[in-house]
Amino acid sequence: MKIIRAKDYKDMSRKAANIISAQVIMKPACVLGLATGGTPVGTYAQLIDWYNKGDLDFSEVTTVNLDEYRGLPRTHEQSYWYFMQKNLFEHVNVRPDHIHVPDGSNPDAEAACREYDQIIRDVGGIDLQLLGIGIDGHIGFNEPGEAFELGTHCVDLTESTIEANKRFFDGNEALVPRQAYTMGIKTIMQARKVLMVANGANKAEIIKKAFFGPVTPELPASILQMHPDFILVGDEEALSLV
């Protein structure tokens, strides 16, 4: 595990974007595992900036996103597909047929998840997986108590996650989907490199517990201690207790 300290959110975003950028330069036809949430937005903005300056080329890159709400079509403004279009894909030259997000509109959870695992296998596995961390220690939508050995699967979101996400649904908890399709911990652990971004004082406690405490399914991110190439880029506040 490697911890990289950043001054603030902007610095964290630049450092994380540098690592992703290095991956794309070293292997132009790489597979990037991408994440939604507030934390990676600055990282994507930095990548877009470097793309606009001619320093980055995504034409051979394949992307696989971590998760998607079950029941939201791609056109829904809160779907993770839509988030990725707005925050990255529309602004760079990733080929549309190289973009993969679990199919939230497929009500058949088993089929949707099986198909997604097949896609990840077909593209040759993930070279670099970008992750945020939930305040309860979730990664993707793998909530506390989730088995470590799962591939893509359907999960019930915890109250804490629903509460944290309602800000994206006009603050109305009733509108937040109750389930999601997510890569499992096994899928994430099979990525050749894992890059986590974390910022803000509200992440400090969970960062300390996840990476300086026992590895336990009760804290899904803790398994990353065992990953052979795990990098955590955090700002001063998020790393204030470690």
Assess whether 136 carries a catalytic annotation. yes
| Position 134 contacts ligand PGA (CB under 6 A) | yes
Any contact of residue 132 with ligand PGA (CB under 6 A)?
Answer: yes
Beta bridge partners of 94: none
Phi, psi of 53 (to 5 degrees): -80, -5
Dist. CA 90–CA 83, nearest whole Å: 10
Question: Is 143 among the residues known to form the active site?
Answer: yes
Residues of the chain by 3-state class (helix, strand, coil), percent to 5: 40, 20, 45
Structural element, H or E, at residue 25: helix 9-26
d(CA 216, CA 210): 9
196 strand-pairing partners: 131, 232
Largest CA distance in the chain: 45
| Residue 131, SS3 per DSSP | strand
Of 118, 182, 121, nearest to 153 (Cα)? 182
Size of the site for ligand PGA (CB under 6 A): 6
Tell me, yes or no, if 138 is annotated catalytic.
Answer: yes
Does 220 interact with ligand PGA (rule: CB under 6 A)? no
Q: Which residue is nearest to ligand PGA (CB)?
A: 37
Site string for ligand PGA, 34-63 (x = CB under 6 A): ---xxx------------------------
Q: Does 107 bind ligand PGA (CB under 6 A)?
A: no
234 interacts with ligand PGA by CB under 6 A: no
* Region of 86-94, 101-109, 127-135, 148-156 interacting with ligand PGA (CB under 6 A): 127-135
Q: Is 122 a catalytic residue?
A: no
Catalytic residue among 143, 146, 235, 237: 143
Q: Does 133 bind ligand PGA (CB under 6 A)?
A: yes
| CA torsion through residues 43, 41, 230, 62, sign | negative
Q: Between 132 and 151, name the residue whose CB sits nearer to ligand PGA.
A: 132
Between 37 and 184, whose beta carbon lies closer to ligand PGA?
A: 37
87 binds ligand PGA (CB under 6 A): no
- Select which of 138, 146, 153, 237 is catalytic: 138
Query: Closest CB to ligand PGA among 133 and 223?
Result: 133
Q: Is 73 left (phi over 0), alpha (psi -120 to 50) or beta?
A: beta
Amino acid type, 111:
A
Give the footprint of ligand PGA on this chain (CB under 6 A). Answer: 37-39, 132-134
Annotated catalytic sites, by residue? Answer: 67, 136, 138, 143
